Chains A and B, each alone.
Chain A
Amino acid sequence: MARLNMVEAIDQCLLQEMQRDERVIVLGEDVGRDGGVFRVTEGLFERFGPQRVIDTPLAESGIVGMAIGMAIAGFRPVAEIQFSGFAYPAYDQLVCHAARMRNRSRGEFTVPLVVRTPYGGGIRALEHHSESMEAVFVHVPGLKVVVPADPYEAKGLLASAVRDPDPVIFFEPARVYRAIRTEVPEEPYTIPLGKARMVREGRDVTLIAWGAQVRIIREAAERLAAEGVAEAEVVDLRTLSPFDHETVIDSVKKTGRAVVVHEAPRTGGFGAEVSAQIMERAVLHLEAPVVRVTGFDTVPPLAKLEDYYQPDVEAVVEAVRESLRF
């Protein structure tokens, strides 16, 4: 089986979805001839031509606004925003229109739209080029929010997103793009939205993350095991909205402890929602308060400060020790 990085896996998924369904159209800034800033759409323009792989003007609200209309009118647009920090002009369109068309039209029409965007830090950029504001999208009823952790996951989750009848924001962790390779089947496959992934079984503590942090909690779990500190269970949420609380709650009921990790700012981050759900559904099983390991309530700074900003394995291990000490 081919070992692909996340860029290749997403590219392959888009190609196959475009072959499978001629309603799928890719649009965005530099996605065509140039193949995209991160080269995720490379080869699509040559393969499908300018009608289906559209280089747009620099106009995020125009891109997403138009994609909404296209989706309502029967297409399956996959819009790219070059960096998630440029999604804010498009946020207006997503919140005001994409998210509520189904509800407003009583299901008469829907918005089968995907907005793909690289997100998160670790690429030595800053501010708009490095932030992870997934929570502000999760907070919008009607949007689905998906964050793949590795190439295999990316291909299967994106296929589901493209086929989904509702608008999906697909956050691609930029630092994972070329950092790892996994086996990725050539044939198309889907991974259902709204279902978390049990990455590693354990009994002492539940580690919860998504996107780039999955690798971090996994490494932390291995280190904790090697040092004989704890056997950690590792959960990759995969989709934040809808949130698979069952997998999380079942795990926490078993382990009695939970550590949630995200690089987004702490206040109002999705970790708060995970923590609240655990409180509501499993408080009597808890041996210790839920611990959050997060970014800071600040704008992602330039490297080297960024190195402090990012949660790392060390911080997760320490959080587990804290939970165990309680």
Chain B
Amino acid sequence: MAPPGTAPEKPDRTPDSKEGGLGLDSASQDAGLDCERLLSLFRCMVRIRAFEEHAHKEFLKGEMPGFLHLYSGEEAIAAGVMDTLEDDDYIVTSHRGHGHLLARGSDPKRMFAELFGRVDGYCRGKGGSMHIADMSRGFLGANGIVGAAVNIGTGAAFAAKYRGEKRVSVSFFGDASTNRGTFHEALNLAAIWELPAVYVCENNFYGSANYQSDYMKLKDIADRAASYGFPGVVVDGNDVLAVRAAAVEAVTRARSGGGPTLIECKTWRHWGHFIGDMARYRDPAEHEAWLKRDPIPSFKAKLLAWGVASENELAQIEEAAEAEMDEAVAYGKASPFPPVSELTAGVYKEDRP
């Protein structure tokens, strides 16, 4: 037996290699979506990317307190899943949650205000990047505790089922979070009560500095679903249509009383774990290979090939996203800091009128 912590023999892990390859068919099936829908998926990803790039820039200027975990590279997951949901569905996410909020329709202005710790932010500037919640969209919150989403999301799914509503609850979480005991508890509960829950694992292969094979014997996290007795599927998390197709199936199952599904989306974060982490632990070849699989340019190429839109139309979407985020940053920075009275407000109901 290899002693604990011993690095395994290093395989060629680049995504399209034989050994480390994902074994995924990256050619998306034609989902029968109309042009407007396809463009909205593109717009969604582009807006997330623009938001994250703006956040990155502002963070480096030192104007953003707290930690910043960027979603760049993983946009296809939020875009693909959220496109399949209804307005009253529930969503819970992790510390890497900007993309989910934007895809759900949350306002980047109020998000930036929150990131800057200002009073117009979603948490009145008290929660920062990791804790944004938006109840108007069933968004039960990002969370600084890794793995928190699965338990809370399971409870929301229970509520929906108990009330006989057709609502679905979707939890987003990272690969490393599935090693927490709470993951097991939540998925088992959802299984035995056949809750309308969808568990979306965003497997970017790293839990901060550690590679998946360092902390897990499984190659596919989706395999864990078998131990609870419900389906687990693996998809190319950088292919928005593949993610969407898997989500359609899982959401339909949940909504029609068929119980939970675990969807594992293989993806890659373009930056370090947080901004400030130089990610020296990464294999440069693997990183390069994944950057070539950037979900946005690859989808763009498809849209062009399919004649869904012209170069010019897609460029306009990108420019609009830039302008929108410029404005959102300006809004966030112009918002005042919360007053001192905010410090103790809101701990209990009676604290705020």
Residues of A within 8 A of B (CB): 29-30, 32-34, 37, 50-51, 53-62, 85-86, 89, 124-129, 296-299, 301-306, 308-309
Contacts and interface: CB of A to CB of B under 8 A. Distances in A.
Contacts of B207: 29, 57-58
Contacts of B342: 301, 305
Contacts of B305: none
A56 B210 CA distance: 9
Nearest to A60: B180
Grouping DSSP codes into helix (H, G, I), strand (E, B) and loop, the B interface class, with mixed when no group exceeds half, is: loop
Contacts of B145: 85-86, 128
B338 A125 contact: no
Contact of A29 (B131, B147, B208, B281): B208
A54 B117 CA distance: 37
A302 B340 contact: no
A50 B337 CA distance: 46
Interface residues of B, number: 40
Given A34-B209, A299-B126, 15 more contacts: A32-B5, A34-B210, A50-B6, A51-B3, A51-B4, A51-B5, A57-B210, A58-B207, A59-B179, A85-B145, A126-B126, A298-B344, A299-B347, A305-B117, A305-B125
Nearest to B214: A55
Contacts of B146: 58, 86
Contacts of A306: 65
Contacts of B214: 55
A34 B126 contact: no
B177 interface: yes
Nearest to B215: A57
B60 interface: no
B7 interface: yes
B343 interface: yes
B259 interface: no
Contacts of B66: 124-126, 129, 302-303
A58 B176 contact: yes
A120 to B, nearest CB: 15
A127 B131 CA distance: 9
Contact of B144 (A33, A58, A128, A305): A128
B232 interface: no
Contact of A126 (B6, B127, B177, B338): B127
Interface string B1-33: 001111100000000000000000000000000
